A and B are shown apart, each in its own frame.
Chain A
């Protein structure tokens, strides 16, 4: 378990593909893209693949599973944005337009694998299996994280950018020391790649040869700052070679390509070939949050251009053309999505379930004398209010 081990594995793998280690680590010359925006399958020689950068197509069953999660994700994004507009939720950073990335990040993982999401990755967290209202606890303002990260193998949605990538590295490292089979997907955005912890996390993962997939959703903006002011690298995936790991670019609105790439990435990591960096090109179709005004930094025509590349319509068109998506399947998928949306609406109609006395309960494993005193002060205040 050392940097030599990582590079040794990369040398072996690249030999198998008949390419140099550098060509294995550098992303393919073109972004991997399997489906055209109209849903038609691209000819094999136009998919961006090349030796060492080839990705088996996912099975029809797998694509249907992913599509169902995609529809659910879109429904959740739009439902939550509506709840914010109705004043029933404090804030929601929508991933409308990025759902294919989020679905692929979660679906590629096995039972013992962990996901490390950011605040914009609600759809990934839901796809990992976390109960809808438990995900929404933080956006509802009830508490910071409403689910049990260990039960779901899903870390709290991280607000400080890229700090969670190092936690992902630690989870993978602990598993490796115990000889456990655990792959970790660590998510971040394009802006986050400028943070110091991005560098430290990728470097640690490579040096310790850990099974971590760094999955960057390049949605082109860090709130208002465009990618061109974030990095002068040829692509974010090119950063991988600097750490001694493989990088790849993928069309982030192409669910089929994402499923293909992430499935292979997880397999490669699981087989002990070290970490990988995947950059998914996508677009945040809505503002940063409801508090943001994206008209101050981008043209509507740009947004419209991306609506034409929407991941949901693209996947739907492919599945329909392939004869996989029957009317019955379509309505079942829509109904399932509506069940989640209804759970969110119903949940938001309930009064917030909070108890101010709990503020002191989780600071330490055992409440200190000082916190016990402060809690008593607050309880006294509450009692006097009630009296």
Chain B
């Protein structure tokens, strides 16, 4: 963002500003971060066994404020800070889950979760299988992930592939405010461990969503399930953009631009990477006959690669063109001034659309 001059217009009187603020309050759009925060609070209310901990999640409310106010409202026994040790946080959560709790833990940033990888891969993922179902680990590992926020090194990794590759874990990633709320509630209520990826560039994004109504519907079990359910983020007919998390908004932007040129793109938001919804993805591709998979993570041996493989195995005879990928390059995540060259952009997606062997 470039430096700007004051956004305050001196010509607007104080009274007008107050009236505008009041109107805005009544019709306040909700941020993605607030939806997550509300989901955590509602889960703490709904289930006494839910407990939240991590680094800076207590008094501070998390470096992204996702746990803001929870310690004050629910007490330090329900939401508390731990020593600075990711393996310790995950390992302690394993023990608490063994002993009847539902821990929801925060890894402060994607790449800071790596010290905990042994606990995740060797225990979180395997405990149920190891014990023939006798020990389940209902726990959620929240990971703010991906780039687009000008973060320095180790703060922008798209690490979902490591976890998606590990049997026994579920991997969710919401891309809109409504899903942020519903998917986190569902993750916390799951009897399996869920690695919950939060696209950090979306934390401040706003939508007009009635969180109270969402909560009432969820508590009354009226909400549609999101686990294992992809979402059609935009209906279209000419080609399918398959994506998730931070790239959904980019895909939607590309679809909007394509529509101006008369190409009608469908956008599928995977949401639940594990378990994966083959049906929704493949139904869309069979309908359009063309597909591009988009993700920020480096493409080699990635979730995007897996989706391409699944689509061609299942939709080969419906395809008019090879399934393409638009992903991050196979490089370590770049420094802030260079990240725009690395991340999938609407333009790069449209270039890929052009390559889908359209008939002349």
Q: A: which residues have CB within 8 A of B?
A: 1, 143-145, 148-151, 155-156, 160, 163, 165-175, 177-178, 182, 196-197, 200-201, 203-204, 207, 358, 361-365, 368-370
Contacts and interface: CB of A to CB of B under 8 A. Distances in A.
B51 A160 contact: no
A115 to B, nearest CB: 13
Interface string B269-290: 0000011101000000000000
Q: Which 4 A-B pairs have the closest CB atoms?
A: A170-B95, A166-B91, A200-B88, A174-B99
Interface string B156-175: 00000000000110100000
Contacts of A207: 82-83
Interface residues of B, number: 48
* Residue from A196, A204, A362, A370 having most chain B Cβ neighbours under 10 A: A362
A143 B132 CA distance: 8
Contacts of A171: 95-96, 98-99
Nearest to A158: B123
Nearest to A168: B95
Given A150-B134, A160-B118, A203 B83 contact: yes
A167 B276 contact: no
A362 B133 contact: yes
B96 A163 contact: no
Given A174-B99, A362-B131, 6 more contacts: A170-B91, A173-B95, A173-B96, A364-B168, A365-B128, A369-B275
Nearest to A197: B87
Contacts of A204: 82-83, 85, 88, 92
B219 interface: no
Contacts of A143: 130, 132
B94 interface: yes
Given A204-B88, A365-B192, A170 B275 contact: no
A172 B95 CA distance: 8
Contacts of A368: 228, 274-275
Contacts of A173: 92, 95-96
A256 to B, nearest CB: 32
B100 interface: yes
A144 to B, nearest CB: 4
A198 to B, nearest CB: 11
Contacts of A365: 128, 136, 190-192
Nearest to B227: A366
A149 B131 contact: yes
Interface string B86-114: 01101111111111110100000000000
15 contacts: A1-B77, A167-B95, A169-B88, A170-B91, A170-B92, A170-B93, A171-B96, A171-B98, A173-B96, A174-B101, A182-B99, A203-B83, A358-B132, A363-B129, A364-B128
A170 B137 CA distance: 12
B100 A167 contact: no
A176 to B, nearest CB: 9
* Residue from B103, B130, B192, B276 having most chain A Cβ neighbours under 10 A: B130
B52 to A, nearest CB: 12
B135 interface: yes
B119 interface: yes
* Residue from B92, B131, B168 having most chain A Cβ neighbours under 10 A: B92
A370 B275 contact: yes
B87 A170 contact: no
B4 interface: no
A105 B122 CA distance: 25
Contacts of A369: 228, 275, 278
B115 interface: yes
B122 A362 contact: no
Nearest to A178: B100
Contacts of A144: 126, 129-131
Contacts of A170: 91-99, 103
B85 A203 contact: yes
A156 to B, nearest CB: 6
A174 B95 contact: yes
Interface string B195-237: 0000000000000000000000000000000001000000000
Nearest to B191: A365
Contact of A196 (B87, B100, B131, B191): B87
Given A145-B131, A163-B123, A364-B128, A174 B96 contact: yes
